[in-house]
A and B are shown apart, each in its own frame.
Chain A
Amino acid sequence: MEHYNMNLTVKVWRQKNSRAQGNFENYSVKNISSEMSFLEMIDVLNEELIVEGKEPIAFDHDCREGICGQCSMYINGKPHGPWQANTTCQLHMRAFKDGDTIVVEPWRSAAFPVIKDLMVDRSAFDRIVQAGGFISVNTGNAVDGNSLPINKDAADASFAAAMCIGCGACVAACKNSSAMLFLSAKVAHLALLPQGEPERKSRVMNMVAQMDKEGFGACTNTGACEATCPKEISISNIARLNHEYLRASLTAEK
């Protein structure tokens, strides 16, 4: 792939803290290599801001290899930027051309309040997982891996759901700020496996209750979540979640 350098205008949301009024600031960055990642471009911009004595842009990032779910920028009208099945950290500057203006916003949802600039508080997801996204296993010797037969199709579907990295792009993309794709991935991941069976009904009831408490919107099946998910979690998981919830509501012991 041909390498090139570019000059860009980056329009970034700046907000001092969760209570402050935010606004967009324009920055120009020069000589950005097409081989840089998007976060490296922000790093370059931040270094310049620090040299100028200005406050650098706060943003979440950790592994920078597309598996941790920390990076969370809404770039040019799409969570994680223009590429498909991709995280912000894996977005490379070759996605842009010289002279482009790039608009960078934080995830927008009442359940994800802005902490600072592009960082949002996604602890609502942690509380949803704490409400039921686990299995209870007694301590002791590890069981032989092959002693528990699991249907191959179910194992594959469970693994596909387990790919969710909890980044919150689904919430950011959804016009209702619904967390149903995230929740459905967590529920489907465990509901499909024998290990998840003992807590299957209470899990879905408790996790849905927690999701509602956190202030996410309701799903209307628009499909925006699936289209933007960096891990391509299928929206069919949401229908599976609805099925699990209906089943649990009708047949739960209490």
Chain B
Amino acid sequence: MGLTGISLVLFLIVHAGINACVFADLADPGENGEMFNKAAHFMGSTVLIRITEIGLFAGIILHIVQGLLLTAENKKRRNVGYAVPYTAGSKWYSRSMGLLGTLILLFLVLHLYHFWASARFTGRGLEPVTYNGVEMHNMFGLMKATFSEWWVVIVYALGCLSLYYHLAHGFQSAFKTLGVHNKRYNAMLSSLGYGFSAVITIVFILMPLSFVLGWVG
């Protein structure tokens, strides 16, 4: 769980970094997503990254399967529940990793349909755009169209919020699973985990919000 979790954390850093290119439009309003489209094109057309993508999917699937098995197995370990559950000793999101993971999975299905499936297979809602003679997908345009509806923005925000709580527990827990027991490092990793979760969530939520409010695009 920890190992696959950390690999997905690394992916989130790349994902948030590439997508943050949409904010280039803020500094240069005529930019219209050029930096983001080029970055997305680079990610989609580089062989090494496409190979890494297979690893990423393997990691996601493994994490999901491990998570579902773990949750199901652990549920069986207490056949008679308590009349008064013990909740004071742990955080609600630490106890709800299975639920939060499932919410993220549901969000992921919609998210992959919106962008990944469109770019790779269906071409749904995609216009071509040409920079310096190179034709590529206008992913920026697809984001703008997708995030023109409030319900999509709200679903994305809720998906990201689930991700925040999932990471708030998962980040520091992953290192404990891998055996980090130095008190100073654990304290550091715990703070880093909360900080990382917050930054990643804010960056992700800001994207659909910026489009729907007309800040970019």
A residues with a Cβ closer than 8 A to B are: 11, 22, 24, 74, 76-79, 103, 105, 108-111, 172-173, 175-178, 215-218, 220-228, 235-240, 242-247
Contact = CB atoms under 8 A, between A and B. Distances in A.
16 contacts: A74-B86, A108-B81, A111-B77, A173-B86, A175-B74, A175-B90, A177-B78, A220-B74, A220-B94, A222-B89, A223-B91, A225-B89, A227-B89, A236-B181, A243-B180, A246-B178
Interface in B28-80: 70, 73-74, 76-80
B77 A227 contact: no
B77 A176 contact: yes
Given A242-B176, A246-B178, A223 B77 contact: no
A237 B91 CA distance: 20
B201 to A, nearest CB: 21
Given A223-B94, A239-B176, A246-B179, 11 more contacts: A105-B82, A109-B78, A172-B86, A173-B86, A217-B74, A220-B74, A222-B169, A223-B90, A224-B90, A240-B179, A243-B179
B77 A216 contact: yes
Contacts of A237: 181
Interface of B: 70, 73-74, 76-91, 94-95, 97, 169, 172-173, 175-181, 183, 186
Given A108-B80, A239-B176, A242-B178, A222 B90 contact: yes
A52 to B, nearest CB: 25
| Residue from A22, A103, A222 whose CB has the most chain B CB atoms within 10 Å | A222
